[in-house]
Amino acid sequence: MTERVETSLTQRLKGAVGLGRSLFIYWRPGRQTSLRRLYRPFIAPGDIAFDVGAHLGDRSAAFRSLGARVVALEPQPELARWLARLLGSRSITLLEMAAGAEAGHADIALSATHPTLATLASEWREQIGQCNPDFRQVRWEQQLRVPVTTLDALIGEHGQPAFIKIDVEGFEAEVLKGLSHAVPALSFEVVAGALSVGNACISRLEQLGDYRYNAVSGEQRRFLWPHWQPAHRMEQWLESGADALASGDIYACRSDHCLFN
């Protein structure tokens, strides 16, 4: 009994440390200004934006500040509660669920000390520590059964989004399998050691439409290149190691997007 209590206390302490780290990283002063600058070309007042893997809602806050109606998905109950406290409900619909290729339920692996790294991608979780030294100390101590929806279902219920942010730790390509038509713009995360996930995302998007691509390194808020790239160049960049990028986000814009006009 004592051992179980000590284990539970240790888990709670780890969770508090992980949550505090996330609050510091994602809600530090000045961050919202640069996020709004990054997303302004994609989101106009009255638009709809999806935040898939919303975590503590810093991107959702930026989308709302630009005038969007936001649909935020965060399947981790503790993070969802904090997101609700930080943002409230004005212009934000918070759904405690994940997204995937099909609607249903799935097991999400949770890390108390690294709550940003919760994942539904079991193969990614088993291999990423071997391929990326930044993940070698990460432990996923718990699993939680969560509801899963699809992007198509979200669009059917909430409307066509002007922008979708996807940050789901190796599950990005599965999320895009649940989308059946080309949306105007979106982003998805990539990490070193699993860059093939990025190529799978590009392959899926090119099945849906004609896109141009750019990238942001880590938590920076500026694009790597002044000109957007066609799919084959972005795929080549990923296949060659992405200039040793540790992590980042790839942005995809449909070729007829007003950004290019």
3-60 per-position pLDDT tens digit: 554 455 455 555 566 667 667 566 667 789 999 999 999 999 999 999 999 999 999 9
Query: What is the percent of the chain with per-residue pLDDT over 70, rounded to a whole number?
Result: 90
Going residue by residue through the chain, which has 261 residues, state the pLDDT in tens, using 9 for 90 and above: 555 544 554 555 555 666 676 675 666 677 899 999 999 999 999 999 999 999 999 999 999 999 999 999 999 999 999 999 999 989 999 999 999 999 999 999 999 888 889 999 999 998 898 888 888 889 999 999 999 999 999 999 999 999 999 999 999 999 999 999 999 999 999 999 999 999 999 999 999 999 999 999 998 999 999 999 999 999 999 999 999 999 999 999 999 999 998
φ/ψ of 170, rounded to 5, equals 85, -5
pLDDT at 112: 86
What is the 8-class DSSP label of residue 60?
Answer: H
Antiparallel, parallel or unpaired: β 92-95 and 69-73: parallel
Whole-number Å distance between alpha carbons of 49 and 184 = 11
- The alpha carbon of 41 is separated from its chain's Cα centroid by a whole number of angstroms, namely 19
Give the domain 2-260 fold. Rossmann fold (3.40.50)
Whole-number Å distance between alpha carbons of 192 and 215 = 14
- Here the tokens at position 108 are 């999400």
pLDDT at 242: 97
Q: Provide DSSP, 87-103.
A: H-STTEEEE--EE-SSS
90-103 per-position pLDDT tens digit: 999 999 999 999 99
Please give the C-alpha separations between residue 146 and each of 48, 105, 116, 189, in angstroms, as whole numbers.
24, 6, 16, 21
Give the orientation angle of helix 2-26 with respect to helix 77-87, to 10 degrees. Answer: 40
> At residue 187, what is the residue type?
S
pLDDT at 137: 86
Kindly report the average pLDDT of the chain as a whole number.
Answer: 91
Verdict on whether the full-model pTM lies above 0.85 = yes
29 burial via Cβ count (<10 Å: 0-12, 13-18, 19+): exposed
pLDDT at 29: 72
